[in-house]
Amino acid sequence: MPDVRTPAPQVTPRPTGRVSVPAGIERVMEDRKANEYTPPEPAALTVRDLDFYYGSRRALAGIDLQFPEKMITALIGPSGCGKSTLLRCLNRMNDLIEGSRVDGEIEYHGLNLYDRGVDPVEVRRRIGMVFQKPNPFPKSIYDNVIFGARVNGFRGNADELVERSLRQAALWDEVKDDLKKSGLALSGGQQQRLCIARALAVEPEIILMDEPCSALDPIATLKIEELMRELAEHYTIIIVTHNMQQAARVSDYTAFLLAGEAGSGEVIEYGPTEEIFANPRDKRTEDYITGRFG
């Protein structure tokens, strides 16, 4: 069994703006379908032929996506396209929904997250999550940060971990004198950064963000976006967003999802963010990002 705690160190160059592609390669790229794209290895998560059902309703159909390590991948699409559902499949939060069912597999370090022997608690401490609405616990800032580490058996220096996590989440300077204050007393943007700090304290490998800025004002949003770029040095980030400018600003790769005829979400197009926004291959992607629907 591979040691999943220490991902192999690797360097992947970031895509830098629009690159001129040699003519031959361009031809090859033209030939592939818009939703068939393989980002550079290694992959943090690979979704293969994933179907998701709420009861008898199929919410996701045949999803194939590979999420590259230490990159930010954005999932965009109109409401009801299944992007949040897909995100919550990635750390098995959907297990909590009574009557839901998953077909297909999600590969993580060579293991399928939906294998029989896989415990969702083990999955969630490696694949953290930040929610749409900031949801700090009604406890002190300090207890908010330390909770996840404690339940996962952390026995080290708690003060140090709290400081490190809050620094990583760019919140330390604002709260360092007030760690005993309730997390609920912070502003919305601070609360969301507290939730990020809380997720970081568990030392996950991947962080899922479900529209993390939709409840925040533009300045708080900017702060979170800057923070995401910093975090991408060490973490794989997958973000669901309604905001196309946000996807364009922060993400390296973008997947566009749309609900098909039967109401099941499908990946319409996937690729480097620059390409998706500058040269969408699929007419529907183009319509969506130019604001023609959604």
Partner 1 sequence: MAVTQTVPSAPHEPAVNLEASGRVARRQRLSRASRYVLLGTALLGVSALVVLGIDTVMNGWGRVTPEFFTNYPSRFADQAGLRSSIIGSVWVLSLTMALVVPIGLGTAIWIEEFAPQNAVLGIIKINLANLAGVPSIIYGVLGLAIFVRFLSFGPSILAGALTLFLMILPMTIIAAQEAIRQVPDSIRQGSLALGASQWQTVWGHVLPGAMPGMITGVILAMARAAGETAALVMIGAFAFIAYDNTSIMDNFTVIPVQIYNWTTRPQEGFRADAAAGIIVLMVIVLTFNIGAAVLRERFRRH
Give residues in contact with partner 1 (CB under 8 A): 91, 93, 96, 98, 121-122, 124-126, 128-129, 131, 133, 135-138, 147-148, 151-152, 195, 198-199, 202
CB of 136 to partner 1, least distance (A): 8
Based on CB atoms, which residue is closest to partner 1, 149 or 248?
Answer: 149
* Alpha carbon distance 51, 85 (integer Å): 11
Based on CB atoms, which residue is closest to partner 1, 154 or 172?
Answer: 154
| Phi/psi of residue 104, nearest 5 degrees | 95, -170
The helix (H) or strand (E) run that includes residue 155 is none
CB of 168 to partner 1, least distance (A): 15
Tell me the DSSP string of 16-72: -SPPPPPHHHHHHHHHS-TT---PSSPEEEEEEEEEEEETTEEEEEEEEEEEETTSE
End-to-end, the C-alpha distance of the chain in Å comes to: 44
Based on CB atoms, which residue is closest to partner 1, 124 or 223?
Answer: 124
- Pair 246, 61: CB distance under 8 Å: no
CB of 282 to partner 1, least distance (A): 33
Which residues is 107 bridged to in the sheet? 46, 112
Based on CB atoms, which residue is closest to partner 1, 162 or 199?
Answer: 199
Based on CB atoms, which residue is closest to partner 1, 126 or 193?
Answer: 126
CB of 220 to partner 1, least distance (A): 18
CB of 149 to partner 1, least distance (A): 9
